[in-house]
Structure 1
Amino acid sequence: MSDFIAAAERGLLERHGLADFESLWDVQMNAVDEPNTGRGGWSSVFRLELEGSGFYLKRQSNYLTRTLHRPFGEPSFSREFRNISRYLTLGIPALQAVYYGERNVDGDLRAILMTRALDSWTDLDSLLQQWPTLTAHQRLAILQACGQLARTLHAAGQVHGCFYPKHIFLRSRSGAYVAQLIGLEKTRPALFGWRDRVKDLEPLLRRAPQWGEAEVRELLATYTQASVDSGLVDSWWRRLDKRSQHKEVR
């Protein structure tokens, strides 16, 4: 695979001498958190500021994901970059890649993934913590944005696999909200119809205890493009509630 550089950022990277794998690997930065270790290697995330714009630069060595298609493993960033590219092609709002590359250095399989920081966006987890202080209009707009994001995702034939509040980012725009996704490592095609979609949606609702039935129905109304009190929304509510109760028992 040849290195990927987003056209919009190529000039910026070139001005700072960061338009190649070796330079991005060697640049000194402070890690955002403790490195992930395991799988025979390590993976770390860094914050990079260039001319007033924020980026996340992720580097890993021998941190591999093994699947049936790649039994000997590949960098986990390779799968994430593939999914970012797929989302872009399918028109699913998600984080944007700036650079991707990988190298085999003396037997170590290294990979770099650089993405634009979502500095003007807020994760749903943070908004849920503020939920009691938000206006009724803000709450409804957030629920509708989440429902529309899920609708777009599933209409494109994909399930996210980690459709959690911490992976949904929102931004206010003209009195409404727009939403996009991060954390695409577990994305896969939807193979089992509504069962896959219920399985994708239910973890979001379980991690949003601030939402009662009425609020979930507002989200589902946008998701299904039906009225809040429709039979279709009733059906989806029952399916999600049944799965949620099953997960709680387990």
Structure 2
Amino acid sequence: MKDFIAGEEQRLLARHGLDNFDALWALQLEAVDEPNTEGRGWSTVFRLELEDKAFYLKRQSNYLTHTLTHPFGEPSFSREFRNIQRYAELGIPALQAVFYAQRKVEGEQRALLLTRALDEWQDLHDVLQGWDLMPAGQRNAVLDACGLLARRVHSSGQVHGCFYPKHIFLQARGDGYAAQLIDLEKTRPALLGERDRIKDIEPLLRRAQVWTGADVQRFLSAYLGSSANMDQWLERLTKRRKSKSVSA
């Protein structure tokens, strides 16, 4: 895959000598969390601040995803980068890539992905911590934003695959909220219609335990619009939630 660098940040990276794979790979930074490991592979996330801008730099080695099109594996960041580009083409609000590249070094498959930080946004997981203290109008605006985001993903023929509170980022705008997604590694085309859609949004409802029945209906109203049978969707979502609880 050809190296990618966003034109908007190319000069910024160049001023700091960071507009190439080797420089970004060698850059000494403190990890923001513990590395993910799998077999001989590892994947780590770092925060990078340059002048007045902030980014997240993700580096991985031999951290591979195996698919039918890549039976011997490819860097998981490669798949995530393609999905970031796909979301941008489809107009689905999501994190933005600044740099992507991968290399083979003495049999080691390395990849790095640089994305813009979402410092002025708050993930839904944190929003839910103060849910009961929020005014009703503000809660409804959050529910609407989340429902419309899910609707945008699915109407574009995609399923996110990890539609969790920690992956939905919100920003207050006037009386409403804007919403966007991160963690696009598991995104794929929707092939099973309503079944895929149920499977995608049920984990969000299961994790948003502070949402009342009325909250869930508000979310679904934004997601479904006026054309769908609310009772049927609630029944199917409840059935899946119960089946996941039993298998857990």
Q: Separation in 1 of the partners of 2:68 and 2:117? A: 32
The residue number in structure 2 matching 1:130 is 130
The residue number in structure 2 matching 1:145 is 145
The residue number in structure 2 matching 1:184 is 184
Q: Report if aligned partners of 1:3, 1:99 keep a CA contact under 8 Å in 2.
A: yes
Counting only pairs closer than 5 Å after superposition, residues 3-152 of structure 1 correspond to structure 2 as 3-152=3-152
CA-based RMSD:
1.1
In structure 1, what residue type is equivalent to 2:16? H
The residue number in structure 2 matching 1:247 is 244
Q: Separation in 2 of the partners of 1:231 and 1:224? A: 6
Q: Separation in 2 of the partners of 1:249 and 1:34? A: 31
Q: Separation in 2 of the partners of 1:93 and 1:239? A: 27
Residues 247 and 212 of structure 1, relative CA distance in 2, 3 Å threshold: same
Task: Give per-residue Cα distances to partners, 1:69-111, cap 9 Å, x unaligned.
Answer: 1011101100110111111111111000000001111111110
In structure 2, what residue type is equivalent to 1:184? L
- 2:221 matched to 1:221? yes
Task: Give per-residue Cα distances to partners, 1:166-185, cap 9 Å, x unaligned.
Answer: 11000000110010001111
Q: How far off its partner does 1:140 sit?
A: 0.2
Unaligned runs of 5+ in 1: none
Unaligned runs of 5+ in 2: none
In structure 2, what residue type is equivalent to 1:232? N
Task: Give per-residue Cα distances to partners, 1:146-195, cap 9 Å, x unaligned.
Answer: 00000000000000111100110000001100100011111111111101
Q: Report if aligned partners of 1:39, 1:64 keep a CA contact under 8 Å in 2.
A: no
Counting only pairs closer than 5 Å after superposition, residues 187-226 of structure 1 correspond to structure 2 as 187-226=187-226
Q: Separation in 1 of the partners of 2:228 and 2:120? A: 38
The residue number in structure 2 matching 1:168 is 168
Q: Percent identity?
A: 63
TM-score after normalising by structure 1: 0.96
In structure 2, what residue type is equivalent to 1:247? K
Q: How far off its partner does 1:39 sit?
A: 3.3
TM-score after normalising by structure 2: 0.97
Task: Give per-residue Cα distances to partners, 1:191-214, cap 9 Å, x unaligned.
Answer: 111010000010000001111111
Which 4+ residue blocks in structure 1 deviate beyond 6 angstroms? Answer: none
The residue number in structure 1 matching 2:156 is 156
Q: Separation in 1 of the partners of 2:196 and 2:35? A: 32
Q: How far off its partner does 1:231 sit?
A: 6.5
Q: How far off its partner does 1:55 sit?
A: 0.2
